[in-house]
Structure 1
Amino acid sequence: MATHQVSALLLALAAISLLAAMAGAAARRLRQPPVIGEVALGILLGPTLLNGLVSDTLFPADIRPFLSALAALGVVLFMFTVGAELNAGLLRGRRMVAGTVAAGSVAVPFGLGALLALYLFNRHPTDNKTGFVLFMGAAVAVTAFPVLARILTDRGLSRTWLGSVALACAAIDDILAWSLLAVVVAICTAGFGSPLLLLFLPYMLLMLTVVRPMLRRLLKEGGASFARPAPMVITLVGLLTSAAFTEWIGLHFIFGAFFFGAIMPRAASAPEDDVTAQVSDRISHLNGRLLLPVFFVVAGLSVDLSKMDVDDLVELVLILVVAVGGKFFGAFTAARLGGVPTRPASALAILMNTRGLTELVILSVGLELGMLDSPLYSSMVVMALITTAMAGPLLQLIYPLPAAPATPAKLQAAWQHQFRGTERVGERELGRTTPAQVE
């Protein structure tokens, strides 16, 4: 790496970090998740603005491979935190309604996305039609767990019935979507006939039966004083090794990072004793300030909205109709069938439409596999941006914030009465609850 490349790379990282912080702050002022501003920044820094003049100036061609490597590391760390934040305890007492809504919010958009792919294939042909159809289905079926959690926290809904069920649905949704994507990756890369891919099941069994108990013991011993580096070192070595292994056997590295995060042990007692949460917080803090903004820029370099024509706009509208309509109809219908009243069922359907950074990760995988060309990739990124941005305002229409929520505690209390009596919805114990109580 030449001296001028080092200088250019460091200056590019400084610019990305500063601009991402400003874009995130601007999004917060608009009452949007920071990821909205950061994704928009990535698009504007790409060829969309001034025909690539900005991107060519800030990110010369000879440093882009290094930016791509840093972006990949950012995705690895992000997928670990997504897995680490999944908590089976979210399902406690709400398995039926969460499972029903999650299944509906994946199955309907997946089916519609697959049908749309058959129509899009003529304009965006790939070497693997089956992989393209399955990928488009998976891409519109995903829900972004981290962004959804942030929206609920910002609105004081995270500890309410609606927030708990939404997070449980998103957790199941994520697992289903990543499983579908794993099938797509296997079809498009090594294929199901690859002998290395047969190592995936032994890998999962080893992680669950050996690595997880070992992590529980090691982190418990090393976590007595978190100032010591042992928990962080153990976690980083484990997740990077896991990511490297799944990449080697023919799956993408995101699956290894995600699965390692999912098996991390969690403390059943006080949050301050949860070493996994502390490690995840530290990783996500640095990752969110530096590496993920690099990923947004690298993703934005492949988005060129300036070249969209009428046919591309028609496709974008179709993608939005399928993505938004499929998610809303699937989640809302499943919630109503599970006994959830209309108002919270609508809120759940809106929240399941949040895609955020998780969608961007999936789209980057599709671009890497050749499932998406540049025009279709650009349309899908815009869809991810729109569906994430609309969640907050639409939720505000259904559950407006109280006029003067003085403190988070008072805001939390203001919501509680609206969901009183709904804890047993979907568990055949709805007896005392009437729609009036929830509405």
Structure 2
Amino acid sequence: MLHVLFALAVIVAAAQIFGAIARRMNQPAVIGEIAAGILLGPTLFDGALSDSLFPEEIRPLLSTLANIGIALFMFAVGTEVDRRLLRGNRLAAVTVSISSVVVPFAFGCALATYLVLRHPTTNGLAFVLFVGTAMSVTAFPVLARILTDRGLSRTPTGALALSAAAVADLVAWSVLALIATLVGGAQEQSWRIALAVPFGAIMFFVVRPLLGRVGRAMRTDQSRGRLLVVAIPGLLLSGAATEWIGLHFIFGAFLFGLVMPRGEHGRIPGDGWEGVQRISGVLLLPVYFVVAGLNVDLSTIAVANLVELGLIVLLSVGGKYAGTIAGARLHRIPWRQATILATLMNTRGLTELIVLTVGLQLGVLDHGLFSLMVLMALLTTAMAGPLLNVLNRGDRAVGALPPDPDSTYLPQPLPHSR
């Protein structure tokens, strides 16, 4: 217990310090928190630091706390997927989201045929699909935070970016579920995967209406906070169900977030959930960063690995930009706004880290490629802020950019977005 308490204190302090440094550099706090996790891992001093701070006997407990934190996070991501985001720009959002996923996914699959020769795997198809998925991810929560911090969430481009990222995330999680199915297909209980579709149907057509009734019954100020009594056990049970089925528990937590009733501004009614999120963000998610960082060893990267890293970054960024701009220009969105939209869609952050960790747990990735992909996630997220400063120079907001007189892009900004 002494080691656990000391380790948690170190993790929280390091996350706060590095998060503050990242904010000072006009970067999302998650950049500093992930960097803290990497530095606390085996990268420094040949692993001596991580071995002394996080001995083997406490790592299973840290992993458990990290998994609870990520379940809460994925539930929150599910609640953030708001259908109002598509209001007024459905066609543009769907086009941009599909093109921003398909192009980098294709680039990633092509690159995977090269990487698989250097990073052997037991399932070649799963490896190819996974690398494509990892290179096409957009971090919806990080994107929402960037837009809010810059006052862009109510602008047309900000609303379109959020809606496109929401749809893109749904596509990415669906492909990841397929990969989990492929990898788990050789297990004795593989028949359970057939329950995934009926489980999803039950969640949407049975659980969602029931939760709606519970939400309507808890509209008073005295009872609104009690919705947490339903939400937290529900997301944990949903995660346990998908884990038993053969998918990852994050899908169950995410799905339960999708079916939760929303209150004003699309939020879960009551003040209690904000407190849960705050505890998760300060304590549990930093533990997740450290647990992931224990699998990242940058000291072993050689010149050949730098070539691989360059290809990963080049194709992931190029694919995301090419796909997003192509989809935006189909709706005659001005070039400058299309480029800003592509810059926003290029953020990966924590969502990418979750995807990569799942790939590592499934045995699709080895530790070397995992480390390179984590670096790609950091670089692509870090470049968003400086590029936005350059593209938006001289304008008060992205929404202030002059429209193309021939444009058919007429999205409606949201009244509120977190």
The interval holding the TM-score normalised by the smaller chain is over 0.9
Describe the shift of the 1:152–1:277 C-alpha distance in structure 2 as closer, same or farther (beyond 3 A). Answer: farther
Q: Distance in 2 between matches of 1:91 and 1:213?
A: 22
Deviation at 1:420, TM superposition (A): 6.5
Q: Distance in 2 between matches of 1:85 and 1:64?
A: 31
Describe the shift of the 1:74–1:416 C-alpha distance in structure 2 as closer, same or farther (beyond 3 A). Answer: same
Which range is displaced more, 108-117 or 276-285? 276-285
Say what the alpha-carbon RMSD is for the aligned residues.
2.2
What amino acid does structure 1 have at the position aligned with 2:229? V
Does the Cα contact within 8 Å between 2:101 and 2:320 map onto a contact in 1?
yes
Q: Distance in 2 between matches of 1:227 and 1:38?
A: 36
Question: How many residues of Structure 1 are paired with residues of Structure 2 in the alignment?
Answer: 411
What amino acid does structure 1 have at the position aligned with 2:204? L
Instruction: State the partner residue of 1:105.
Output: 100
1:140-168, Cα deviation, whole Å (9 max, x unpaired): 11100000011111111010011100000
What amino acid does structure 2 have at the position aligned with 1:107? V
- Counterpart of 1:47 (choices 42, 62, 65) is 42
Q: Distance in 2 between matches of 1:401 and 1:304?
A: 42
- Counterpart of 1:261 (choices 253, 257, 263) is 257
Deviation at 1:58, TM superposition (A): 1.1
Counterpart secondary structure, 2:401: helix
What amino acid does structure 2 have at the position aligned with 1:97? A
Instruction: State the partner residue of 1:293.
Output: 286
Instruction: State the partner residue of 2:392.
Output: 399
Q: 5+ residue gaps in structure 2? A: 413-418
What amino acid does structure 2 have at the position aligned with 1:324? V
- TM-score, reference length from structure 1: 0.89
- Counterpart of 2:14 (choices 12, 19, 25) is 19
- Counterpart of 1:75 (choices 67, 70, 73) is 70
Counterpart secondary structure, 2:169: helix
Counterpart secondary structure, 1:275: coil
Q: Distance in 1 between matches of 2:147 and 2:227?
A: 29
Deviation at 1:421, TM superposition (A): 8.5
- Counterpart of 1:182 (choices 155, 177, 181) is 177
What amino acid does structure 1 have at the position aligned with 2:52? T
Deviation at 1:418, TM superposition (A): 2.8
Does the Cα contact within 8 Å between 2:161 and 2:344 map onto a contact in 1?
yes
- Counterpart of 2:351 (choices 340, 358, 378) is 358
What amino acid does structure 1 have at the position aligned with 2:113? L
Q: Distance in 2 between matches of 1:427 and 1:191?
A: 49
Deviation at 1:274, TM superposition (A): 4.4
Is structure 2 residue 226 aligned with structure 1 residue 230?
A: yes
Is structure 2 residue 84 aligned with structure 1 residue 89?
A: yes
Does the Cα contact within 8 Å between 1:96 and 1:427 map onto a contact in 2?
no
Deviation at 1:195, TM superposition (A): 2.0
Q: Distance in 1 between matches of 2:233 and 2:112?
A: 39
1:297-327, Cα deviation, whole Å (9 max, x unpaired): 0000000000101111110001001110110
Instruction: State the partner residue of 1:337.
Output: 330
Is structure 2 residue 199 aligned with structure 1 residue 203?
A: yes
Counterpart secondary structure, 1:156: coil
Does the Cα contact within 8 Å between 1:246 and 1:256 map onto a contact in 2?
yes
Describe the shift of the 1:296–1:265 C-alpha distance in structure 2 as closer, same or farther (beyond 3 A). Answer: same
Instruction: State the partner residue of 1:408.
Output: none
Q: Distance in 2 between matches of 1:17 and 1:80?
A: 22
What amino acid does structure 1 have at the position aligned with 2:211? L
Describe the shift of the 1:154–1:210 C-alpha distance in structure 2 as closer, same or farther (beyond 3 A). Answer: same
Q: Distance in 1 between matches of 2:369 and 2:405?
A: 42
Is structure 2 residue 306 aligned with structure 1 residue 306?
A: no
1:188-209, Cα deviation, whole Å (9 max, x unpaired): 1136993211111111111111
What amino acid does structure 2 have at the position aligned with 1:240? L
Is structure 2 residue 211 aligned with structure 1 residue 215?
A: yes
Does the Cα contact within 8 Å between 2:332 and 2:406 map onto a contact in 1?
no
Describe the shift of the 1:244–1:428 C-alpha distance in structure 2 as closer, same or farther (beyond 3 A). Answer: closer
Q: Distance in 1 between matches of 2:147 and 2:296?
A: 30
Describe the shift of the 1:318–1:420 C-alpha distance in structure 2 as closer, same or farther (beyond 3 A). Answer: closer
Deviation at 1:422, TM superposition (A): 9.0
Does the Cα contact within 8 Å between 1:24 and 1:36 map onto a contact in 2?
yes
- Counterpart of 2:311 (choices 308, 311, 318) is 318
Q: Distance in 2 between matches of 1:226 and 1:25?
A: 36
Q: Distance in 1 between matches of 2:253 and 2:272?
A: 14
Is structure 2 residue 408 aligned with structure 1 residue 418?
A: no
Using the aligned pairs only, state the percent identity. 52
Q: Distance in 2 between matches of 1:277 and 1:88?
A: 21
Q: Distance in 1 between matches of 2:46 and 2:70?
A: 27
Describe the shift of the 1:274–1:65 C-alpha distance in structure 2 as closer, same or farther (beyond 3 A). Answer: closer
Does the Cα contact within 8 Å between 1:155 and 1:401 map onto a contact in 2?
no
1:253-298, Cα deviation, whole Å (9 max, x unpaired): 010000110111123xx44x94358555333211100000000000
Q: Distance in 2 between matches of 1:91 and 1:206?
A: 25
Deviation at 1:427, TM superposition (A): 6.6
Instruction: State the partner residue of 2:244.
Output: 248
